[in-house]
Amino acid sequence: MSGLRVALIADIHGNALALQAALADIEARKPDRLAILGDLVFNGPRPAEVLSAVMELDAAGALVIAGNTDIAVADGDFTAAFPWLDEVPVGHRAAAEWAREQLDAAQLEYLRRLPAERRITVGDELVLACHASPGSQTAGLPVDLDAAVTMQYATRTDARVICCGHTHVADVRELGRKLLVNPGSCGYAFDGTPDACWAMLSVSEGAEPEAQLHRVAYDAQAAAEEVSQRGLPSDVYRAATIRTGRFVR
């Protein structure tokens, strides 16, 4: 394989309207592969619809992995999903339990069986798809993370390209000779725009890998209203986050 263009989506969080917008833009750009980097169903108003779409994409050849909140929804293991919290908020538990109730048995089994990482080889280059960082679904790679810790995480893989999500902030940067690509959040952005985010990674033999970030406008107000109408604890904050593209709590 001499070259590959991989579309990357992360952190859909049950937001079907955002996923539809991102997929339409991706389809128009005709990538070779699609990778979906976890956190599929937690928080948003349409977890079953999102997971049905993801399962269809998986059957068509997409690479799909689980994120930390997928553990909370599938199995109720809140300590594994949110290890940085001394006490898991009532709103987190309510949202995970509500999402679990929306999924049928086949969807729950699919969610439980998802791997934590996937890999693609392009010539001599290895591409890692993970949720937060190599070897972890919960230890993310935000821009403000200590540089020594960032390099420690990045060197836990031989991959030339690390594709991850979890931070909900779009990011492309060099880490030594490694390229980090975080497409941002498709359905629950924290970086100041409510648009559906995704990224296109290009890897070719004999050339430096590169990535472009994309943002697609969609009806974030409608998605926020769907969340508000659900009435779970903390839904007012989730709706504000979806509507503004900034984390509100």
Return d(Cα 125, Cα 132) in angstroms, integer.
21
Average pLDDT, the chain: 97
The share of the chain scoring above pLDDT 70, in percent, equals: 100
Q: What is the value of pTM for the model shown?
A: 0.97
What is the model's pLDDT at position 200? 98
- Do the Cβ atoms of 50 and 57 come closer than 8 Å? no
Distances (CA, A) of 196 to 13, 84, 190, 207: 11, 27, 11, 29
pLDDT of residue 171 exceeding 60? yes
pLDDT digits (tens, 9 = 90+) for 106-165: 999 999 999 999 999 998 999 999 999 999 999 999 999 999 999 999 999 999 999 999
SS3 230: helix
In sequence order, the β-bridge partners of residue 178 are 175
pLDDT of residue 102 exceeding 60? yes
What is the model's pLDDT at position 128? 98
Structure tokens at 93: 């538990």
pLDDT digits (tens, 9 = 90+) for 35-81: 999 999 999 999 999 999 999 999 999 999 999 999 999 999 999 99
Phi–psi pair at 214, nearest 5 degrees: -130, 145
pLDDT of residue 192 exceeding 80? yes
pLDDT of residue 199 exceeding 60? yes
The share of the chain scoring above pLDDT 90, in percent, equals: 96
Domains in the chain (CATH in brackets) are 3-244 (3.60.21.10)
What is the model's pLDDT at position 166? 98
Q: How confident is the model at residue 185 (pLDDT cuts 50, 70, 90)?
A: very high
Q: How confident is the model at residue 205 (pLDDT cuts 50, 70, 90)?
A: confident
pLDDT of residue 208 exceeding 60? yes
